[in-house]
Amino acid sequence: MALALAPLLAAWVAMTPARVVAAETDDTCVLCHSALPDPLNAPVEAMKRDIHTQKGLACVDCHGGDATAMDDTAMSPAKGFRGHPSRADIPAFCGRCHADGAYMRRFNPRLPTDQLQQYWTSVHGQRLQHGDEKVATCVSCHGAHGILAPDHAESRVFPPNVSTTCGGCHSKADYMAEYQIPTDQEEKYKNSVHAEMLFVQRDFSAPTCNDCHGNHGAFPPGASSVAEVCGRCHVNNAVLFLKSPHRHAFDERRLPECVTCHSNHNIQRTTDAMLGGDAGTVCRRCHENGSAGYEAAVAMRTAIDQLSTTMAHTQAMLTTAKTMGMEVSEEQYAFHETVWPQLIKVRTETHLGDAQGVVNIVGAAVDAANASEASAQATLAEAQARRHHLFIPLALIAVLMILLRLKLRQMEGRHRDDGKA
């Protein structure tokens, strides 16, 4: 390869003005590949944006060789030239730097240096070690040339782009056929509440593929570990579930904990309609009509519906009072600070599976809502009383205006009579 490129390089140098050669020969890799046809010249353009270039690294830092030589020694193995690594060698190729803590500290002290170690624990890494070269390696996710920082909006691993990056393999039915796993994960994820938060609300803390499966140590969570995965974000729900009777029932049946009720990739926004004994509710999937679990689900749903109805009435009353010009800011503050948090709490409490606990929380919240509604009713009554009391002076003013009008007419009539005389 080096011998074949040497004449081309020499010819390019001979035909290029001396001032251009002087500017470019600091790196003969760039000099030579810029003169080559596609795709051999593509890395030169791509590397202009690469994070490695921005950090001051050059071709030889990855590929070895001598970037100052103008002959075939530029790519001499004697000078450490490594060239294009095989797919099986890519993790070690990248890990040569990224697994070296002392070296990486020069560029970014906060960057983890255990990526290679984690990769070998992943499904991808394990399959690669057994000879499967179809699996993802570093370049599958990050690219080879033109690698962008993870916080760059066009980076393949920028949060909104991760599902597309993973879907580059996992959404291809033909490519994934031999692994006998679903290929609709990306499609389902993009219809989920997590995707809505990420793509629509632009909340970059919303989970995407690597938040649940890991990035370098990517591994499908098992039935017993799903709650730990979801619980990293949904802490209260996870803690309550682990104390609930469902935890042991799920363990006995080897059911994935959160996924059984909420699914995994196609997670939808939770609603009260998921709870209860009606057909189509989550609870009815396991609890038959008349069973203890069924009765508990119905009791929890009934209590929550009672609280929601009470809150709606209270909110309507406060809104009416405010529209009438009454000062109800304190009542509104008390309502939002006392009652709304109780609704959130009681919905979370359902993960404990304790119907009586839910009823108790709802009872306290309903009392607080009723107190706010009573205050709003008192304010409305005051407003009505003010209107009634205002009627008398308004009526007197109207009578006076009529009398004044009559008096003016009388005076105008006398003035006309005096003028005729």
pLDDT(161) > 90:
yes
Residue 318 domain flag: yes
Q: pLDDT higher for 321 or 67?
A: 67
What band does 33 get if pLDDT is binned at 50, 70 and 90?
very high
Please state the domain count of the chain: 1
Residue 378 domain flag: yes
Question: What is the model's pLDDT at position 405?
Answer: 84
- The angle at the Cα of 172, spanning 169 to 178, to the nearest 5 degrees, equals 90
What band does 309 get if pLDDT is binned at 50, 70 and 90?
very high
Residue 41 domain flag: no
Residue 189 domain flag: no
Q: What is the DSSP string of 215-246?
A: STT-----TTTHHHHHHTT-HHHHHHHHHSHH
Segment 2-26, tens digit of pLDDT: 444 444 444 444 444 433 333 444 7
Task: In whole angstroms, give the CA distance from residue 94 to residue 139.
Answer: 9
Q: What is the overall mean pLDDT for the chain?
A: 88
Residue 140 domain flag: no
Q: pLDDT higher for 184 or 416?
A: 184
Give the chain as a 3 state SS string: CHHHHHHHHHHHHHHCCHHHHHHHCCCHHHHHHHCCCCCCCHHHHHCCCCHHHHCCCCHHHHHCCCCCCCCHHHHCHHHCCCCCCCHHHHHHHHHHHHCCHHHHCCCCCCCCCCHHHHHHHCHHHHHHHCCCCCCCCHHHHHCCCCCCCCCCCCCCCCHHHHHHHHHHHHCCHHHHHHHCCCCCHHHHHCCCHHHHHHHHCCCCCCCCHHHHHCCCCCCCCCCCCHHHHHHCCCHHHHHHHHHCHHHHHHHHHCCCHHHHHHCCCCCCCCCHHHCCCCCCCCHHHCCCCCCHHHHHHHHHHHHHHHHHHHHHHHHHHHHHHHHCCCCCHHHHHHHHHHHHHHHHHHHHHHHHCCHHHHHHHHHHHHHHHHHHHHHHHHHHHHHHHHHHHHHHHHHHHHHHHHHHHHHHHHHHHHHHHHHHC
Q: What's the DSSP call for residue 64?
A: -
Segment 323-379, tens digit of pLDDT: 877 788 888 888 888 899 999 999 999 999 999 999 999 999 999 888 888 887 777
Task: In whole angstroms, give the CA distance from residue 2 to residue 154.
Answer: 35
Sign of the C-alpha dihedral computed for residues 347, 349, 352 and 354 taken in this order:
negative
Residue 401 domain flag: no
Residue 396 domain flag: no
Domain range for residue 301?
297-389
Residue type, 398: A
Residue 106 domain flag: no
pLDDT > 70 fraction of the chain, expressed in percent and rounded: 90
| Mean pLDDT of the region 49-66 | 95
